[in-house]
């Protein structure tokens, strides 16, 4: 069983038959290198670009970044578990 890929921007871009240059223009970027970097996971999008990607590709950002979303969920679950057990962390300090 494999974990999801970091992101599926390339998959959904190709489904719409868009080039990197076209997608870059649609999300308001001057250069297609941004899309290349996003697809390769070398860079994370800004909130503006992320929301634009959601609109252009018609897929939620959570779906686009399934691998990353899963990693984040696991991390937060671990922290929540620690907080509930009363261990060190933000929750402990607040109390």
Partner 1 sequence: MTEVRVVGLDPTSRGWVFAVVETSIGLVDHGLLRVRSAEAWREHALAVVRRFDADALAIADPDRSRFRREALAVLRLVQDLHVTKEIPVVTVDVYAHRRRLKLPTKRHAAEHLVSKYPELAGRMPRQRKPWMSEDWSMNVFDALLVAEFALHELASTP
Q: Which residues bind partner 1 (CB under 8 A)?
A: 1-5, 8, 10-11, 14-17
Distance in angstroms (rounded) separating the CA atoms of residues 22 and 38: 14
Closer Cβ to partner 1, 26 or 83, answer by number: 26
Q: How far is the CB of 34 from partner 1 (least distance, A)?
A: 19
Q: How far is the CB of 12 from partner 1 (least distance, A)?
A: 9
Q: How far is the CB of 57 from partner 1 (least distance, A)?
A: 13
Count other C-beta atoms under 10 Å from residue 23's C-beta. Answer: 24
CA distances from 84 to 60, 62, 75, 81, 89 (A): 30, 26, 14, 5, 10
Distance in angstroms (rounded) separating the CA atoms of residues 82 and 80: 5
Closer Cβ to partner 1, 3 or 30, answer by number: 3
Closer Cβ to partner 1, 2 or 30, answer by number: 2
């Amino acid at each position: 069983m494999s974990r999801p890929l970091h992101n599926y921007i390339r998959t959904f871009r190709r489904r719409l038959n868009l080039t990197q240059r076209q997608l870059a223009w649609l999300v308001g970027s001057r250069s297609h290198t941004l899309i290349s970097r996003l697809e390769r996971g070398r860079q994370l999008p800004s909130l503006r670009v992320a929301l634009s990607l959601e609109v252009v590709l018609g897929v939620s950002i959570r779906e686009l970044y399934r691998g990353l979303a899963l990693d984040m969920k696991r991390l937060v679950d671990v922290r929540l578990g620690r907080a509930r057990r009363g261990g060190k962390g933000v929750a402990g300090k607040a109390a």
